Structure formats: C-alpha cells, structure tokens
Amino acid sequence: MIAHPDFRLALARDRSEELMAAAAAWRRARQARAAARPAGASRGAVSETAVSTVAISRAALMKPAEREQVVLRDGSAVLIRPVRGTDAALLADGFARLSERSRRFRFLGRKTTLTKADLRYFTNVDHHDHEALGALDHVRGGGVGIARYVRDRENPAAAEIAVTVVDDWQGRGLGTELLARLSERAREEGIGRFTAVVADDNAAASGLLRNSGAILVHRGSGIVEYEIELAGAQAQAC
C-alpha cells in the first residue's frame, strides 16, 4: 500500500517535532547539570538532582509518539493522532467533505462553513480539559474523522463528546476506533463519564454509542442524550 504524500508529510512533521522536543530536552538537561555542579567541582561531579533530571529527559526522548496506524475492518488504513493547532487546513478539508445531512447531525442545525474562530477552537486544544483525536487517510491523504471531548466545568469527572466521520468513510468502523481511543485518553485525564447529545434521527451515532455501553438518559424535541460510564478512570490531583 502506497502512502499519500499528505500522510507522509504528517509523519515527517511528527518526526520533526519529536526531534525538536528531543533537542530542547537535551538542552534542559545540560543546563540542569551545569546548575547543579558546585563551584570548582570537576565535570564528573554531578548531583543526584541533576542525574534525576537527565534520567527524566532521556525518558521523555524515548516516549513513543502519540500516533497510531489503524487498519479498519474493510482493510483501509488511517493514522490516528491528537489534533494540533496547525491542523486548521485538515479540519476545513474534512468539513468540506461532509454532506449537509452529516453537518446537521454534527452541529444539530444548519452549518455551512467553519469560521476562523471555529477553526481556532477546534484545533487549539489543551489535551486535558479538551481533547481531540483526528484520523488521516493513509492512501489519499486528508482528514477523514475526528472525535473530541470537552470537560464539564461544573463536574470535572464528566465530559461531552462528539464523533464525526466524513461520508465516504462511514460504515467502516472508524467511529468505533476513534471513540475507543478517546475513551482511553479521557480515563487518563480523570474523566469517568461521557455525555453525548445527538439528533433523534441519527441512527448511526445512536448505534455507535449503544455499542459502546451508552444508556439513553433524556429524549427531547429532535434530540436524544446518552451517557457512557468509563470504568478505570484515573483520579486527578486537586
């Protein structure tokens, strides 16, 4: 299978960012060693604190990239990774590939375009209270799906979710893959419950949520609300 240039470009950008982070970590470790060395001490005399700093820096360099290549049930492949602030063009491209019906399902109303403010909000995530995972087409390039949660300010253990897949990628299992990985991230950040509001005629979204253990908690005018309990959420320090 030949990867699309956009896909290779995404991998190259990831690798470049990893190398830049590695260089920054190395500089911080070197500065820590210099700061921890007593005046007049030999270059080999390094404090325990400096040694610990070096060990942490090396661990950071060896940390695996937060991206994953996934083969879907029809054999197609995607790259799933966290959304970055530089992904506005990918997000806009994905939105352009949504049908009017899919846009209505996502925004629960008519939505013809994403404004600059929309793109900033959807891409400038902090990966703690607001997480978003995007999927890139391995062969043709471009964004084909995204899943995000936004933590509830009044209840930090809960978050609202949204999962969107472009029309020509629906029915392949991508939504399930995205939701599973979003659930893992939420647990790591101390979130124990997801809520989701979907259009009452969005059978695909309702099916995805029910298959993930969601229960129906409210039915309103044109919408239904589901909740998913996430077992094994990590407690967060206050």
Per-residue confidence (pLDDT) for residue 164, from 0 to 100: 98
pLDDT digits (tens, 9 = 90+) for 171-221: 999 999 999 999 999 999 999 999 999 999 999 999 999 999 999 999 999
Tell me whether residue 104 is in a domain: yes
* Distance from the Cα of residue 185 to its chain's centroid: 8
Q: How confident is the model at residue 7 (pLDDT cuts 50, 70, 90)?
A: very low
Question: Does 139 or 102 have the greater pLDDT score?
Answer: 102
* Of residues 217, 218, 150, 143, the one with CA closest to residue 186: 150
Per-residue confidence (pLDDT) for residue 25, from 0 to 100: 53
Per-residue confidence (pLDDT) for residue 33, from 0 to 100: 61
Q: Which domain holds residue 16?
A: 5-62
Per-residue confidence (pLDDT) for residue 60, from 0 to 100: 36
Instruction: Tell me: do 183 and 202 sit in the same domain.
Output: yes
With pLDDT > 90 as the criterion, what percentage of the chain qualifies? Answer: 66
CA separation for the pair 180, 160 (Å, rounded): 15
Q: What ranges in 37-114 are assigned the alpha helix state H?
A: 48-62, 88-96, 100-107
Can you give the pTM of this predicted structure?
0.73
For Cα atoms 120, 160, 137, give the angle at the middle one, nearest 5 degrees. Answer: 60
Tell me whether residue 177 is in a domain: yes
Q: Which of 17-26, 48-57, 65-74 has the highest mean pLDDT?
A: 65-74
> Tokens in use for 30?
């070197």
Of 62, 84, 101, which residue is a domain's last? 62
Instruction: Tell me: do 88 and 53 sit in the same domain.
Output: no
Tell me whether residue 237 is in a domain: no
Question: Does 95 or 138 have the greater pLDDT score?
Answer: 95
Strands 215-219 and 223-229: antiparallel
Instruction: Tell me: do 42 and 11 sit in the same domain.
Output: yes
Q: How confident is the model at residue 9 (pLDDT cuts 50, 70, 90)?
A: low
* Of residues 204, 166, 202, 209, the one with CA closest to residue 78: 166
Q: How confident is the model at residue 32 (pLDDT cuts 50, 70, 90)?
A: low
Hey, what long-range contacts does 73-76 have (CB within 8 A, 24 or more apart)?
Answer: 73/172, 73/173, 74/172, 74/173, 76/137, 76/138, 76/139, 76/169, 76/172
Tell me whether residue 36 is in a domain: yes
| Number of domains within the chain | 2
Instruction: Tell me: do 32 and 130 sit in the same domain.
Output: no
* Of residues 169, 235, 179, the one with CA closest to residue 206: 179
Answer yes or no: is pLDDT of 10 > 90: no
